[in-house]
Amino acid sequence: MSAASPVSTAVDAPLLEVRGLSKRFPGVKALEEIGLTLSAGEVLAVVGENGAGKSTLMKILAGVQQPDAGEIRMQGAPIQFASVDAALAAGVALIHQELNLSDNLDVAANIFLGREPHRLGWIQQSQVHARATHYLRQVGLEISPGRLVRDLSIGQQQLVEIAKALSINARVLIMDEPTSSLSQREADQLMGVIGQLRDRGVGILYISHRLAEVEAIADRVTVLRDGRNAGDLPRQSISHAAMVGLMVGRDVSRFYQRSSHQPGETVLEVERLVTTTWPGAAVDFSLRGGEIVGLAGLVGAGRSELLRALFGVDERLSGRVKLHGRPLPGGRPRAAIAAGMALVPEDRKQQGLILEMSVRENASLASLAGHAKVGGLIDAAYERALCEESMRTLRIRASGPEQIAGLLSGGNQQKVVLAKWLALRPSVLLLDEPTRGIDIGAKEEIYHLIDELAGRGIAILFASSELEEIIGISDRVLVMREGRLTGELPRAELSEQALMSLATH
């Protein structure tokens, strides 16, 4: 000990150390005196409920936001990143929870944005593409680097973000819910990539609500609760129960508790429906009131496209859809809403929320048509009552109904999207990955809500990539592959294995 020189102290210092970090937003203490250490070659998982402060902490570490107080050290030296570029230059890269790519640029341009390899001032297109391909392979993505990002699925976009971080050669890599839009197979692939980075000495901060994944990958876990440190778990103490205990502080064992449903009349009939994405595949099925039907399949299997075609956001190529016995025209979401159908879309940022508007305005957006006063004025009292009710039932954590939706934590944004569609009191509810990015306590509430809606006779079609949740809540499950329905399983026959084999073949 006494022989330790100042030099060796610096070498022994953790790769990253955070002390007493605090950050306030108007009306919210997002972080209070947070501490954290990360070593080289370590995967540190950061878990906590929606709004616990995880993303805020990561944004500060990556130079996106500035702390109000506290200290950050990298290998013993105090640092403060005034910008994302400063953080990148020091080797700290953040993959955002909400995807951050430029839709109108191709994949390669996104990977090297602002850092294109130049020669004599000209960007070498072929070189950019070759290098992009190199990083795309590392994340197992076999697409052309010339594809436009907006033509990729969310899962593919997520992988492009990861390829981008790899290209920066980060020493500290921060991933904020990187697998939330990935299929099991893609997530497994990512776990492999993370393992390789760890072996190369990269320190990884890993945020996820998928606790099984955390158990599999983390060397250590730091739990946040209401902006404070709630505890740390070393490798040997990491378990589902231990994490949940620190996160929530209450028992969530009734997780998939469900009542038995009595399916009623057939409410939705789908005959030979063909979507524009899968012109060679036709889909037939029906839904009865009061049943919860899971829609399983790998990313890209055509689940979202099917839901979008049913609701009318996408045109149909052919086929017939009947809602309550009446034909439902294609390509007209308004007609679908009027007939009692609602769709909670997969991508809340693009399709679900108006980020600049308040929680109150968002929550009542879809249902306003029915409640406009004479002359088209919005019924403000109705709007406020509606918002307060859904904030309560869905436990939306916001400073109040007037908070701007874009400033809510990711999981709370998703709850506002749900609130908005539920306010329509639909008789057929289509849900596309409704619990993505939702913490374990809130998931339980959403499952409970879905169960309750089914109990009231609402027909629910529920697409999810999480097999566990599909099995947990469905009365029966339809499985898709390459635009087709490859099978249907009743509740009694549900198992991960059975679903996977229908989804992959």
Ligand X SMILES: Nc1ncnc2c1ncn2[C@@H]1O[C@H](COP(=O)(O)OP(=O)(O)OP(=O)(O)O)[C@@H](O)[C@H]1O
Asked if residue 358 binds ligand X (CB under 6 A), the reply is no
The answer to whether the beta carbons of residues 269 and 322 sit under 8 Å apart is yes
Asked if residue 181 binds Mg ion (CB under 5 A), the reply is no
Q: Using DSSP bridges, classify how beta strands 228-234 and 220-225 pair: parallel, antiparallel or unpaired.
A: antiparallel
Asked if residue 158 binds ligand X (CB under 6 A), the reply is no
Binding letters toward ligand X, positions 412-431, x by CB under 6 A: x-------------------
Asked if residue 51 binds Mg ion (CB under 5 A), the reply is no
Asked if residue 55 binds Mg ion (CB under 5 A), the reply is yes
Binds ligand X (CB under 6 A): choice among 439, 444, 469, 475: 439
At residue 71, φ and ψ (nearest 5 deg) are -135, 140
Binds ligand X (CB under 6 A): choice among 44, 54, 344, 487: 54
Q: Which two tokens stand for residue 436?
A: 């993505």
- Nearest distance from C-beta of residue 446 to Mg ion, angstroms: 17
- Nearest distance from C-beta of residue 34 to ligand X, angstroms: 11
Beta bridge partners of 95: 175
Asked if residue 180 binds Mg ion (CB under 5 A), the reply is no
Binds ligand X (CB under 6 A): choice among 171, 198, 348, 397: 397
Asked if residue 411 binds ligand X (CB under 6 A), the reply is yes
Q: Which two tokens stand for residue 230?
A: 């709630």
Asked if residue 459 binds ligand X (CB under 6 A), the reply is no
The answer to whether the beta carbons of residues 266 and 288 sit under 8 Å apart is yes
Closest CB to Mg ion among residues 97, 275: 97
Asked if residue 179 binds ligand X (CB under 6 A), the reply is no
Closest CB to Mg ion among residues 54, 220: 54
Q: Is 104 exposed, middle or buried (0-12, 13-18, 19+ CB in 10 A)?
A: exposed
Listed in sequence order, the residues at least 6 apart from 401 whose beta carbon sits closer than 8 Å to its beta carbon are 358, 359, 360, 363, 384, 387, 388, 391
Beta bridge partners of 408: none
Asked if residue 67 binds Mg ion (CB under 5 A), the reply is no
Asked if residue 213 binds ligand X (CB under 6 A), the reply is no
Asked if residue 53 binds ligand X (CB under 6 A), the reply is yes
Q: Which helix (H) or strand (E) holds 164?
A: helix 154-167
- Nearest distance from C-beta of residue 112 to ligand X, angstroms: 28
Binds ligand X (CB under 6 A): choice among 16, 63, 97, 167: 97
DSSP 252-293: -TTTT--PPP---SEEEEEEEEEESS-TT--EEEEEETT-EE
Asked if residue 409 binds ligand X (CB under 6 A), the reply is yes
Q: Which of residues 138-177 bind Mg ion (CB under 5 A)?
A: none
**Residue 319 identity (one-letter amino acid):** G
The answer to whether the beta carbons of residues 342 and 349 sit under 8 Å apart is no
Asked if residue 414 binds Mg ion (CB under 5 A), the reply is no
Radius of gyration in angstroms for the set of CA atoms belonging to the chain, rounded to a whole number = 24
Q: Using DSSP bridges, classify how beta strands 316-323 and 476-481 pair: parallel, antiparallel or unpaired.
A: unpaired
Residues in contact with ligand X, counted by CB under 6 A, come to a total of 20
Closest CB to ligand X among residues 184, 409: 409
**Which residues of the chain form contacts with Mg ion (CB under 5 A)?**
54-55, 97, 410
Interacting residues toward ligand X by CB under 6 A? 25, 28, 30, 48, 50-56, 97, 397, 407-412, 439
